[in-house]
Amino acid sequence: MPEARGPSELNLVQLLPNLMTIAAMCSGLTGIRFATTDQFGAAVAMILVAALLDGLDGRLARLLNSESEIGAELDSLVDFVNFGVAPGLIIYLWGLHGVQSGGWIATLVYATCCLLRLARFNIGNRAQMDKAAEVDGEKQATDFTGVPSPAGAMLAMLPIYVSFMLPDAPQVPSWALAFYIVLIGGLMISRIPTPSFKSVTILADNVRFVVVGFVALVAALLTFPWQTMVAVAVGYILILIKSAWQFRKNRKGLRGL
């Protein structure tokens, strides 16, 4: 009589990407907890840790060949918590509660834009995977459409970085902060192409320079965290301005044909 087969087994190591995703969610929620007790530096740090984990879980899943539909769904849901809900609430508790309903409306708009950005990304990602399955060797897109949600969260918290970098400077007016995060939400759902660093390639001979640059960045974050985050955010804004200018130029060129 054949032996009955038990439930399929899964290597524990293959669960690591999903565990990392859940750890990212815990980090984002902990950021909200810190914000409720006015520990905004720790709150921002928790969002940055969540962004780091978000950048690693997918790569780890591909490395371990443990990609799954549930992993993809978890990643998207956690991204909304970490880069839509958590930053919105942290910013609201930091500088928007003074304008009452107006600040809360801006927070809701930002979170909604993040949700729409993630939904559009998921639909586009599935369509791209289906197309790649039909055509072997299909070239993947090298740009995002709109600002990715982790980058949106990083930009949205820029006023907090500045306030810690310049503690004696006057705080951003609540109405200006509300307008700013709505603007960042609009960038997330915009059609502006933004670069995907996944498509960046380097010569093998230059790898050592990239490693040294990464070490320098980590050292700067540990030594001068707020100045470094301001520099990174401003650099990314300059990239967005260049992308928007190029996008507008290309659209005008197409209209002229």
Per-residue pLDDT of the chain (257 residues; tens, 9 = 90+): 444 444 556 566 667 888 889 999 999 999 999 999 999 999 999 999 999 998 888 778 777 777 777 878 888 899 999 999 999 999 999 999 777 788 999 999 999 999 999 998 888 765 555 554 444 443 445 578 889 999 999 999 999 999 999 998 888 899 999 999 999 999 999 988 887 766 666 777 777 888 898 899 889 999 999 999 999 999 999 988 888 888 777 766 666 55
Dist CA 170 CA 172 (whole Å): 7
Give a yes or no: residue 102 inside a domain.
yes
Give a yes or no: residue 127 inside a domain.
yes
Give a yes or no: residue 197 inside a domain.
yes
Dist CA 182 CA 94 (whole Å): 16
Domain that holds residue 193: 82-250
Give a yes or no: residue 110 inside a domain.
yes
Residue with the two structure tokens 């790898």: 207
Give a yes or no: residue 52 inside a domain.
no
pLDDT for 213: 87
pLDDT for 132: 46
Rounded to 5°, the CA angle 207-235-146 comes to: 100
Give a yes or no: residue 10 inside a domain.
no
Give a yes or no: residue 25 inside a domain.
no
Give a yes or no: residue 47 inside a domain.
no
pLDDT for 219: 93
HEC string for 134-201? HCCCCCCCCEEECCCHHHHHHHHCHHHHHHHHCCCCCCCCHHHHHHHHHHHHHHHCCCCEEECHHHCC
Quick check: 251 and 166 in contact, CB under 8 A? Answer: no
The total domain count for the chain is: 1
Structure tokens belonging to residue 206: 């230059």
